[in-house]
Amino acid sequence: MDRPADLPPAGARFSAIPSVDRLLRDARVERAIARHGRALVLAELRRLLDDERAALEDGARAAAAPEALVDAVLARIDAVVRPSMRRVFNLTGTVLHTNLGRALLPRAAVAAAARALARPSNLEYDLARGERGERDAHVERLICRITGAEAAVLANNNAGAVLLALGTVAAGREVAVSRGELVEIGGSFRIPEIVEAAGCRLREVGTTNRTHLADYERAVGAQTGAILRVHASNYAIVGFVATPGEAELARLARARGVPLVSDLGSGSLVDLTRWGLPAEPTPMQSLAAGADAVTFSGDKLLGGPQAGIVVGRRELVARMRRNPLKRALRLDKGRLAALEEVLRLYLDPDRLAERLPTLRLLVRPRAEIAATAERLRAAVQAWCGALAVVDVADCASQVGSGSLPVDRLPSAALRIAPAGASAAQIASRLRALPIPVVGRVHDDAVWLDCRCLASAADEASFAAQLRAGGLAEAR
């Protein structure tokens, strides 16, 4: 590259680069050292000066001023120490958004997790006997009390729970599953792959839309290790459909001497219809129908931390607990402590909607959500300026994470219609705010569903960051 005529020669340009010691004495750099430590600041400063020398080597520009170099190194340090996992405003309309962290924990559960992580505890220590204990015991009693199960065992998520159950009861044998239940969940994770990973062979039964009890009767034989029933929690087949009831499958499994494993996925522990929500099967119903083992999630409709729970017959659960997979899939102490606090809330179902954040968001009235949107409309319009028109519009929220997939919840949103900036540009700028705002683009507009903006503090912080800048400044 030709050097511009007005640039000094290379030697003069390099000599203009301030020394490391000089930059370390800058007041702003000294404050960075006090906050982050000398090692990090010095390493980033040396990398910056190396990059500066390389930029000057080709003669494209003059040396940067010391103040500019300080600005640059502070920006680099901030990029290193800034947390990758950040708080966001979930205005997508999906309450249990897998990509945004699913269930929000009650404060008591957060505090319990913090206590468990900060201090020694009796995680795997039996205080009465003074010897090693079982970590799942801290929540097993509550799970069994709520569900009526004989025993319970935990894994790190529901896929892990299914893997543990099948790998225990049917390893090396066939698992009979209806073709209409060979589901794929998020991340292209499929039931056939879980069956294979558990060391079992998949035996497909019936057809996609119609599977009869007679199909199971023909499929279940000497090579069968289990019948797996998968709840269609993230899809629906409508029209000319048929499938045996859980009680029918349980009677067949019992007659053939194989266990029935029921994968419920979403994990509701209460009858949601009492709050006007669509019905979702519960572990209690599956156990009453005769299922030998039932698996479900802790971080979906249950409203707790990520976990997979297996409830069922004591003998089967004991075998799962002895499976080497159990250690690989076990829960850590923080999630166990949080789950215990969440389960305690279910002992008082009359106040569950007040205390469990997931349920509170799901039952939030549309009128209340619309009022939130109306209060924020002016702030969002001011942020958009002349580049978009903002109004309050009806919309429909969804539960998310494969729960109640075809059911929608009446809601209200701030609809941002472009008038100079594209919907994609507006959505990108919202995600670039100090607390990123994640909405959805639909019909060439950005929709900010206000269902999950449910506290005065959240409203205030949402509006405050909009006043710090505007859409036009980011273009």
CATH no. of 107-355: 3.40.640.10
**Tens digits of per-residue pLDDT, 19-36?**
999 999 999 999 999 999
Any residues with CB less than 8 A from the CB of 163 and at least 6 apart, and which? Answer: 155, 194, 197, 198, 325, 329
Tokens of 458: 């959240």
| Three-class secondary structure of residue 52 per DSSP | helix
For the chain, how big is the Rg over CA atoms in Å?
Answer: 29
In 3D space, the residue among 204, 284, 291 whose CA is nearest the CA of residue 245 turns out to be 291
Q: What is the pLDDT of residue 470?
A: 87
**DSSP, res 105:** P
How does pLDDT run across 55-90, given as a tens digit for each residue? 887 666 677 899 999 999 999 999 999 999 999 999
pLDDT confidence tier of residue 469, bands split at 50, 70 and 90: confident
Q: What is the pLDDT of residues 306-333, one digit of tens each?
A: 999 999 999 999 999 999 999 999 999 9
What is the arithmetic mean of pLDDT over 253-274? 94
Which CATH number is 89-97+362-474 given? Answer: 3.90.1150.180
Closest alpha carbon to 261 in 331, 179, 164: 164
DSSP assignment of 299-340, as one string? SSTT-SSS-EEEEE-HHHHHHHHHSHHHHHHPPPHHHHHHHH
Residues in a beta bridge with 437: 89
Domain range summary for the chain, segments of one domain joined by +: 10-81, 89-97+362-474, 107-355
Q: Is 234 a residue whose pLDDT tops 80?
A: no
CA–CA distance, 104 with 307 (Å, rounded to integer): 14
Percent of the chain with pLDDT over 90: 81
pLDDT value for 12: 58
Q: What is the pLDDT of residues 356-381, one digit of tens each?
A: 999 999 999 999 999 999 999 999 99
Instruction: Match 């194989």 to its residue by tokens.
Output: 258
What token pair was written down for 65? 């001023």
* Cα–Cα distance measured from residue 248 to residue 401, given in angstroms and rounded to the nearest whole number: 28
pLDDT category at 1 given cuts 50, 70, 90 is very low
Distance CA 106, CA 108 (A): 5
State the DSSP code for 448: E
- The mean predicted confidence, pLDDT, of the chain is 92
Q: Are 397 and 409 in contact (CB under 8 A)?
A: yes
- For residues 125 and 132, the answer to whether their CB atoms sit within 8 Å is yes
